[in-house]
Structure 1
């Protein structure tokens, strides 16, 4: 009954007035917010602090995000929102818009001067505080009467920003739901107690950084073009090497390969396969300590070194392999295997390194997190990761420094 009454209130009693008849009227917009300096009432915090209990990162109902929405706005109760930024670098000039069911324009409810890395805070929805002026997406002021509160679906939120980092976030096509799961290391087999190892917030920050970069890479136009024309990529590799094509000449599926006969995918199937890498399924990130990394179902994992230094150097072979298992492909498919002339595992790694070379990933500087220096939180010993690219990288040879996603 409450939601029906509230909806009626929105449609019949909420006043959304475009502009004002008084040409001298000066709208009174809410002040801009600096999230680096919030009062205690907003409950500001930094997620994934080095010393934070790992139990918080493993709370899947509280810590989760979609890779194309690192800045997350979630309604809490009838009158508040929780704002969380899953990024190792903060954002500037952020506008959060609201949309009401009975009004066809979005309007700004918060303007943030700064939101720091891994920030979370809570804010009252200003419409529930009183009658206010708001800037619409078309640039005109609107005045909205006080609304007592919102049921689920009674208000929608969206985010815009002029920050170049946010521009990169907006390009990500993947909508994977990222979470950390402790179910793997808590249920290690008795004969392999180190099959999976627990992660901590230090490693979680690296994993988040990596999955955003990885998701940007597989959303990139050059990657999509190469994926859709993998047969061309194989021919170009062979021509450069002066050899015949090694192994399969195009993508093939999970059927067993017998005497060089492959279950090649049609163009339509390749397009469908691409969507399995970027769809909305859940991804549980984990870490292994045994002889093998694992992937399948929601799981994708790798060793500690992959999180600390590997991805900064573009060493994405293991992650790509396990992510392909997570996406539904087994060792019979070159979407997962690395033999028979290479497949996704090899191509993605070459491409990822080319993007680092172009400085065309959201994050390319390991000094952002300095995880390699945090020995108290690591089992291994690491040096600062230094990136180099092989001059025979097939993307470097073909594009010669061009192809940056502008």
Structure 2
């Protein structure tokens, strides 16, 4: 049965509009259809009607970043396309570095091929703008993913679910975004500092930009094949550390759960559970990023937090121990588990920090240059005083010793 929406699309596309195809590789150019595609777009120079803006400007009201209906993104989709009404889309780039050659494709409910509706030559960092869906404006030719052309008549508008969007780009940064396996939804939540000011402190756009860079990098690190292999085989990692040190394994020999340790006896997790836990770190739950002002950072439920210094300088030099700890509380682990605590002989806090530093050393993170944000220079928006973060790796880093500069995720 064809629903009302499908019947309308079917009629619009196939009866009154007709779809015309032509191959870009057609040898007989005398009969080839001469498609006329929509022009490319430079998002750094848009007409006023597109309502172009830069999100998280330093002096932007923090109320905007705390608006959870308006400011949110999934870590594997920093380049976001959202339908607005029946005739427009909002594009947003949650990234401190812009993108080039961004192609946005559409797919209609009754047509199984994707076709190009926007080709952006440039999209600057933290950009947002609004664009009319071109099919609403009139009849146009569109480039299919296959390289063929399709002509689509004017369509008066799109109900929810009648059109889907996807993004592609040749930009190397976008290629890193696509490797991220986590689909965590990231938001900032002012409820913590409103209800417990002092224990938590308000953030601002300067800190939010640093936090966004950090969580994209962190999600990339968790998704990395070397991290997956090390996480799944943590017992091997512990043995390798002991061998390098010329000692026996110190403390727990593998991942263990939340039960209290008694006389060196741990509730070790089976491999099947370890695999499941790894993917829990990369699921689609919501994380609220916050900042603490007291003696302790906090995590649990949707919350993961750290101090201002961690956002401004710490993550650029790989000091991710606190964040790893609080994020593990967010996933569901207590201080009794070495998935949250370092524990005897080291746990995930230590391992993740070593690995993160190795990725900075390899320049194998989406963002490795603190100059892209210069957060430490923006003293007007900070409570502490900071110097430019300068990264150095310990020559005894276990990942450096094992991989010796290899292992970059190509």
1:275 corresponds in structure 2 to 279
Distance 1:385 1:13 in 2: 57
TM-score, with structure 2 as normaliser: 0.96
Q: Which stretch of the first structure deviates more once superposed, 8-17 or 243-252? A: 8-17
Deviations along 1:65-112, whole A, 9 cap, x unmatched?
000000000000001000000000000000000001211110100000
Distance 1:16 1:24 in 2: 15
The CA deviation at 1:16 is 2.9
The CA deviation at 1:25 is 2.6
The CA deviation at 1:12 is 2.7
Number of residues paired by the alignment?
400
* Gaps in structure 1 of 5+ consecutive residues: none
Deviations along 1:9-49, whole A, 9 cap, x unmatched?
11233133322897243111000000000011000000000
Distance 1:156 1:19 in 2: 23
Distance 1:172 1:88 in 2: 17
- Do structure 1's residue 213 and structure 2's residue 221 form an aligned pair? no
Distance 2:291 2:41 in 1: 38
Counterpart of 1:13 in 2: which secondary structure?
A: helix
The CA deviation at 1:129 is 0.8
Distance 2:172 2:409 in 1: 12
1:110 corresponds in structure 2 to 118
Q: Which stretch of the first structure deviates more once superposed, 16-25 or 55-64? A: 16-25
User: What is the correspondence of 1:224-243 to structure 2 with a 5 Å cutoff?
Assistant: 224-243=228-247
1:372 corresponds in structure 2 to 376
Structural RMSD (CA): 1.2
Counterpart of 1:278 in 2: which secondary structure?
A: coil
1:291 corresponds in structure 2 to 295
Counterpart of 1:113 in 2: which secondary structure?
A: strand
2:20 pairs with 9, 17, 20, which one? 17
Deviations along 1:192-244, whole A, 9 cap, x unmatched?
x4100000000000000000000000000000000000000000000000011
Distance 1:321 1:17 in 2: 56
Q: Which stretch of the first structure deviates more once superposed, 15-24 or 139-148? A: 15-24
User: What is the correspondence of 1:5-404 to structure 2 with a 5 Å cutoff?
Assistant: 5-14=4-13, 15-19=18-22, 23-188=31-196, 193-404=197-408
* Gaps in structure 2 of 5+ consecutive residues: none
Distance 1:119 1:47 in 2: 6
Answer yes or no: is the 8 Å Cα contact 2:320–2:356 preserved in 1: yes
Counterpart of 2:103 in 1: which secondary structure?
A: strand
